[in-house]
Amino acid sequence: MEDLTLIYYTANKISDYFANQVRYHLWRVSSRKEIPIISVSHLPTAFGGNICVGEIGSSSWNIYYQILLGAKAAKTKYVAMAEDDSLYTFEHFSYRPEDDEFAYNTNRWNVNKKQFYHRRNRPGMCECICNRELLIDTLETRIKKYPREEYAHIKHLKYYGEPGRYEAELGLPIVKRKHFQTEIPVLTFNHRPSYGGVRAPLKTDVIKEELPYWGKSTDLWMRMHG
């Protein structure tokens, strides 16, 4: 798969055991077609081609800054995001959007410690696949208008989210957003060290104890966390 690079980004806040389990899973998926990986981390991390930004703190601004650095270092036409607490499949990384749109896999479930998965129809950056140049242009435009030193002082930067969602609120050029679904879901662990913290399921969320391919949530949680 010569046209895709995975951008793995982390603040190095999760346990070493869990981080290594996630990275091993990602490496196994990517090695099927020798998909290159660029990791962008707060601490030196021996995973793919590593870019260490230092302990800059956790914020939405810093997440997208790390993604931008990874995209600039990539050499392929497309890039796919890979967060440090998410699990992916080769099927997910096989998807290709149009060059002018950001694509998000909406078949994503959260893995909870309390014996269940839950699904909310709300895609996030961790499921994004897009044209590399589109991502660079979009994030550079955003960072130019809202540099790091201004981020914490502007109230409407609560909308500093994934491309294709809040450009109007931020006064930025509108970009296209597309949703797709894989047969096998991607997963994100619902745990305290994540940037958003633990998210309680809503009444409208779908809840299951077991998913095809991934198995029981309790077994997966124990296997990944030790």
How many separate helices (H) and strands (E) can be counted in the chain?
7, 14
State the pLDDT at residue 151: 82
Q: What is the pLDDT of residues 163-220, one digit of tens each?
A: 999 999 999 999 999 999 999 999 999 876 666 666 667 777 889 999 999 999 999 9
Return the CATH number at 143.
3.90.550.10
pLDDT tens-digit series, residues 99-129: 999 999 999 999 988 889 999 878 899 999 9
**How far is the C-alpha of 139 from the C-alpha of 165, rounded, in Å?**
13
For the chain, the domain total comes to 1
3-class SS of residue 158: helix
What are the phi and psi torsion angles at 173 (to 5°)?
-60, 135
CA 55 – CA 74 distance, rounded (Å): 22
Cβ proximity of 41 and 50 under 8 Å: yes
Q: What backbone phi and psi angles, to 5 degrees, belong to 8?
A: -95, 125
Least confident of 21-25, 31-35, 39-43: 31-35
Strands (E), the chain: 4-10, 37-41, 49-52, 78-83, 86-87, 101-105, 108-112, 116-119, 128-131, 176-180, 186-189, 206-208, 210-211, 215-216
pTM comes to: 0.94
| SS3 readout for 107-127 | CEEEEECCCEEEECCCCCHHH
* CA quadruple 37, 41, 45, 49: dihedral sign: positive
By residue range, what is the domain housing residue 220? 4-225
Which pLDDT value is given to residue 17? Answer: 96
- C-alpha distances in angstroms, 99 versus 55, 82, 87, 125, 198? 33, 20, 25, 17, 34
